[in-house]
Structure 1
Amino acid sequence: MDNTKALPKTQIVGLILSFGLLLSLTLGPPLPGLKPQAQTVLGIFLWFITCMVTDALPKAIIGLAAPMLLVILGNIKIPEAFGAFSNNEFFLAIGAFVYAAIMMGTPLGKRIALSITSALKSTKVTRILLGLTLADVVIGGLLPTVSETALFLPITKGVTGLMRGREHLPESQRINTALILTITGLVPLFTGPLILTSHFPNVMLAGQLASSAKIYISWADWFLYNLPLWGLLPLLLLYVTWYFRLRGLDIPGADEELPRLKKELGRITWPEVWALICLGIGLILWITEGKFHQIKTGMVALLVLLLVFLPFGRLKFEEINKYIMWDVWVLLGGAICLGDALYKSGAVSWLSSFIVTPLKSLGHPFLILFLLVFGFHIARAGIVSAVAMGAAFIPLTISLAKELGFNVLPFCLITINCLSYAFFLPISITAFLIAWGASGTPTSQAMKFGALLSVLANIYVIVVQSAWLALLGHPLY
C-alpha cells in the first residue's frame, strides 16, 4: 500500500512561484540602477517571502536555505551570509524558546498562570488579557523589546496551557492565538517606542540626531515626545478583542479546572524554584546592562540556560527538549541574515528610491508623510532585525527631512516610530516573528490580522503624534 500523500496545491504553487522569482531575478536582465548582487539578493528575498506565505517548505529549511543561497548565488562569504547565527538576538531567542519549554515541560508555567488568574479573580479572557498587558507594560519600561518577549513568552504559554486537551475547539484556538500574539509580540512592540531605552531604534535615532542634526534628546524628552503613543495600548486591546471575538469568552472549563489544578499542583518543587531564581538573575542582568556590566542580552539568556540546567537544579534537558521550537529559531536566524544582506547589498535603498523620488513633486506635507511611511514599509518588509531597520532607515530619514523641508525632529520621530509598528508580515520584526512562531498561526492568517493593525497604528502615530509635537513647539513642517 502506498502511504504517500500528494502535496497540497499551495505548496506546489509556492515552490514553482518562489523558484521562478528567484531564477528570473538571478539570471534575468539587469534592472536599471540595481547592482547584480543586489538583484540576486532581492530574488532570494522574494523566494523567502513566497515560501513563507505559501508554507512551501518547513520553517527550518527556509531559515537555513536563505543564507545558503546568499553564498551560492550572491557570492557572499559564508561568515557574512550566516552572520546572524552568531547574532545577539539569535541567542536571546533561543533563551526565550527554552524558557517557554521549561514552562510547558514542568508545572511552573501552569503555576504562574493559576496565580495570575487567581489574582485577577476572573476567568474572562478579556480580564486575563488586560492583566497580562498591565504586567507587560510595567516590565516594558525596564527591558528591551526582545528581552520582554523572552520573559513573557513562557508566562503566556502557561496561561494557554490551561486549555490543553481542548485545543481543537474554535474558541480555544482564537484565545490561544490572541494571547500569544498580543502578550508575547504586540504589547512589547507597542511599548517599545514609549521609553528611550526599551527599543534599539530609539537609542540609534537619538544618537544620530545628536551627531547629524545637533539635536539632543534626553530620556525625559523622549518620554514626553512619545506620550500620546500610550493611547495605542487600549486601541490594541480593543482591536484584538474585536478581531478574535473574545468578548464574553472564558478560558474553556476554567471554572472546573482551576480548583482541581490548584489541588493537583501541590507545593512548588525545587526545580521550579531554581528555574525562577535563574530567571530572576537573568532579569536583573537585563535591567542592569550597561550600568554594572557589559553582558549583552543574548549572552545573558545563554548564561541563564547554563545555570538552570546545572545538576543540582534537577531539571532534565531530555524532558524539556521536546517542547523547544528549534525550527522557528533557525528560521529567525535565516530571516536576520537575509535582512542584513538586503541592506548591505543596496537592495533596500533601491526599493525605497521608487517611493522617495516622486514625493519631491508633491506639495502637501501630510500626503508626503503618509506615502513615505507606507512606502518604507514595503522596503522594510524583509528586515526582521530592529537594529538593521534602524541602520537602513534612520540616516535616510534624517536626510529626507532636510531635502523635503520638514523639521527634522518630528519628521524622524514619526517615521521611525511608524516603522516599529510593522506587522504586515510575521517576519518583519523579531518579537512578532517569535510570537507568530509560538502561536502556530498560518502565515496568511497572521498577515490578515497584522495588516489592518499596522494601518491603524501608523495612521494614529502620524495624526496624533504630529499634533502633539506641534503643541510642544515642534511642528512637522
Structure 2
Amino acid sequence: MLGNRQVPMKISIFLFPVLFILPAIFGYYEQWFSLNKVQSVNLSIALLATYLWLTELIPLYVTGFIILFLELSWLLPVWTEPRPKPIVFLSCYFSDTILLFLGGFVISQAISRYRLDERLAKIVLSQSRGSSFRFLLGIGLVTGFLSFWMNNTATAAMMLGLVMPMMARFPESSSFRKGILLLVPFSANLGGIATPVGTLPNVIGIGYLKERGLDFGFLTWMGFAVPVALTSILILILLIYYFYAKPEKDETFKHFTIATESRIFSNAEWFSISIIVITIFAWMTSDFHGIANGTIALFPVIVFFGTKLLSLEEFRSLSWDVLVLMGGGIALGKAMEETGLAKHFITSFSLNEHSLMFLFLFFSFMSLILSCFLSNTSVANLMLPITLGLPQELILPAALGATIGASLAMPFPISTPPNALAFGYGGIKSWDMAKIGGLISIVAWMIFVCLGGGILHISSIVDFSF
C-alpha cells in the first residue's frame, strides 16, 4: 500500500514543474507581472531552473543543460528583432570564467595527486609542539590557505582525513575533538572566498560582472577578500579555542606529536609546484600584463596533461558537471539581462533608488540568510541575475554582496558540503554546529561589510560615500 501511495507522489513531483511553464504558454505571466512575451518565457525558465536547483529533483548539471535547451528552443523563437544569436547563450558554457575555474580544478587535482596539500599540512602541524592553540592555528590557517586554491569540500575531506586519526586518542565526547570537527569545515568555507577560484559563487559572480563589462581582476579580488578571509579564520580559531580547547582537561595533548615529512621532493613534484606558482603569479599580475585569467588558466591544463603529470583518467575525473552547472547559471543571468526581466523586477521593487551601501548590505545579508538552508551555488544563481537589472553604477556592490554573502553561511550540517562531511564523523550535535557556525557567520558577515567594504571604498573600487 505504501508503495502505491509513493507512485502518485513521485508523479506529482515531476509534474509540478509544468506549473511554471503553463502560465507562460497561456500569457498569464504577462498579465500578472506586466511582462512582454519574451520576458514571460524567461521568467518561466528561471522559475523552472530555480525549482530544479532547490529540489535537486534531477542532477544539477542536467538543469544547466535544460536552461540552454529552453533558451535555444523556446526563448529565441519568441524573441522579436533584434534577436540575439544562439552563440550569446552557448558561449556562457565555455567562457573565460569557465576556463578560470577549469584551471583551478586542474591545480587542485595536481595538489592532491602529488600530496602537496598533505605535505604542507604536516609541516605546519608538526610545529604545534604540544600547544593546543598552535595546533588549532595550524589547522585553521592550512585549511583556509588550501581552500584558496582547492575545492572547499576536497580541502575539508583531506584535512579531516589527516587529523581525525590523530584524534583517535581523544574520546568522542572530548571538547577538543569537537573543536577540530568544527574548525576544519568552517575554515574551508571561509578560505574559499579569498580568491576567484576558491569557490563556485566567486566564479559565478565574476562571470556575471564580466557580462556587464565589469572585469574584476584576480589581484583586485584578493586585495579585499584575503583580509576578510584571514581575519574571519583567526577569529574562528579564537572562538574554537575558547569554547572547546581551553576547557579541555585531557592531558593527552601535551604528548601529542606529529611526524614531519622526511621524504625529499621528486622532480615531478618540484615541476608541479613550479607550474602552480607560475599560474598563481600570472593570475595575480593579470591587471599588469593584460592576459585574461581564463587564458592563463589554460597553461596548467596544457602543461599538466601535455607532460602526462596528470593522466587521461584524471582529466576525465575533473568536475565537468560543475562547469555545466556554472554555465547554466551564467546563461540564465545573461537571458535575464538581455530580455530586461532583471531590470523589470529591480524597478518593481524600487531597489535602484537605494544607495550603494544599502545594496551592499541588502544583497549580502539576503544571500547569507538563504545560504543557511540552500547551497551557496544555488543562492548565487538566484541572487546574481537580479543584480544585473540595476543601473551600471550600482551593480558592483550588489553583486559582490550577493557573491560573498552566499559563502558566509554555515550554521547547520546542511549549509555546506564541508559541514555535512564533518558532521558525518560523529561526536558533534547540530547545536554545536549552530552555536559556532551561526556566530562565525554573523561575525564574518560583519567583517566583510566593515573590513571588506572599507578596503573597497579606500581603494576607490566602490564609493560608499553618502
Common fold, TM-score beyond 0.5?
A: yes
Separation of aligned partners in 1, 2:315 and 2:257:
27
Paired residue for 2:278, among 273, 276, 281? 281
Aligned-partner residue type, residue 303 of structure 2: L
* RMSD, aligned CA: 5.8
Aligned-partner residue type, residue 103 of structure 1: I
The Cα offsets for residues 324-348 of structure 1, whole Å up to 9 and x where unpaired, read as 2222222112111112222222121
Structure 2 unaligned blocks of 5 or more: 78-84, 200-204, 371-376, 410-414, 423-429
SS where residue 37 of structure 1 aligns?
Answer: helix
Separation of aligned partners in 2, 1:52 and 1:271:
40
Question: Does 1:346 find its partner at 2:340?
Answer: yes
Paired residue for 1:296, among 289, 292, 297? 292
The Cα offsets for residues 184-210 of structure 1, whole Å up to 9 and x where unpaired, read as x23448x99xxxxx98999999989xx
Separation of aligned partners in 2, 1:383 and 1:98:
23
Separation of aligned partners in 2, 1:271 and 1:41:
50
Q: CA deviation at 1:117?
A: 2.5
Matching of residues 332-411 of structure 1 within 5 Å: 332-356=326-350, 384=381, 392-393=389-390, 395=392, 397=394
Separation of aligned partners in 2, 1:149 and 1:10:
42
Separation of aligned partners in 1, 2:132 and 2:13:
42
Aligned-partner residue type, residue 338 of structure 2: K
The Cα offsets for residues 117-168 of structure 1, whole Å up to 9 and x where unpaired, read as 23565676741354248858xxxxxxxxx9x54698876665345258899x
Q: CA deviation at 1:278?
A: 1.0
CA contact (8 A) 2:183 2:237 kept: no
Separation of aligned partners in 2, 1:324 and 1:166:
30
When residues 240 and 71 of structure 1 are mapped into structure 2, their CA distance, relative to the original with a 3 A threshold, is farther
Q: CA deviation at 1:376?
A: 10
Separation of aligned partners in 2, 1:179 and 1:10:
40
Separation of aligned partners in 1, 2:88 and 2:447:
37
Q: Identity of counterpart residues, as a percentage?
A: 14
Q: CA deviation at 1:306?
A: 0.9
Separation of aligned partners in 2, 1:107 and 1:291:
32
**Scaled by the length of structure 1, what TM-score is found?**
0.61
CA contact (8 A) 2:92 2:327 kept: yes
Give the equivalent residue in structure 2 for 1:127: 137
Question: Does 1:423 find its partner at 2:406?
Answer: yes
CA contact (8 A) 1:205 1:394 kept: no
Structure 1 unaligned blocks of 5 or more: 137-145, 193-197, 209-218, 399-411, 427-434
**Scaled by the length of structure 2, what TM-score is found?**
0.63
Q: CA deviation at 1:90?
A: 0.4
Separation of aligned partners in 2, 1:104 and 1:9:
45
Separation of aligned partners in 2, 1:205 and 1:70:
20
Give the equivalent residue in structure 1 for 2:110: 102
Separation of aligned partners in 1, 2:367 and 2:346:
6
Separation of aligned partners in 1, 2:258 and 2:7:
40
When residues 203 and 26 of structure 1 are mapped into structure 2, their CA distance, relative to the original with a 3 A threshold, is closer
Give the equivalent residue in structure 1 for 2:90: 82
Separation of aligned partners in 1, 2:210 and 2:157:
31
Give the equivalent residue in structure 1 for 2:80: none
When residues 385 and 373 of structure 1 are mapped into structure 2, their CA distance, relative to the original with a 3 A threshold, is closer
When residues 459 and 288 of structure 1 are mapped into structure 2, their CA distance, relative to the original with a 3 A threshold, is closer
When residues 373 and 151 of structure 1 are mapped into structure 2, their CA distance, relative to the original with a 3 A threshold, is closer
Q: CA deviation at 1:459?
A: 9.7
When residues 424 and 476 of structure 1 are mapped into structure 2, their CA distance, relative to the original with a 3 A threshold, is same
Give the equivalent residue in structure 2 for 1:186: 193
CA contact (8 A) 1:278 1:304 kept: yes
Give the equivalent residue in structure 1 for 2:374: none
Q: CA deviation at 1:61?
A: 1.1
Give the equivalent residue in structure 2 for 1:317: 312
When residues 202 and 352 of structure 1 are mapped into structure 2, their CA distance, relative to the original with a 3 A threshold, is closer
Give the equivalent residue in structure 2 for 1:457: 445
Separation of aligned partners in 1, 2:329 and 2:340:
17
Aligned-partner residue type, residue 186 of structure 1: I
Aligned-partner residue type, residue 276 of structure 1: I
The Cα offsets for residues 299-335 of structure 1, whole Å up to 9 and x where unpaired, read as 2112112112233x644332x3465222222211211
Separation of aligned partners in 2, 1:258 and 1:10:
53
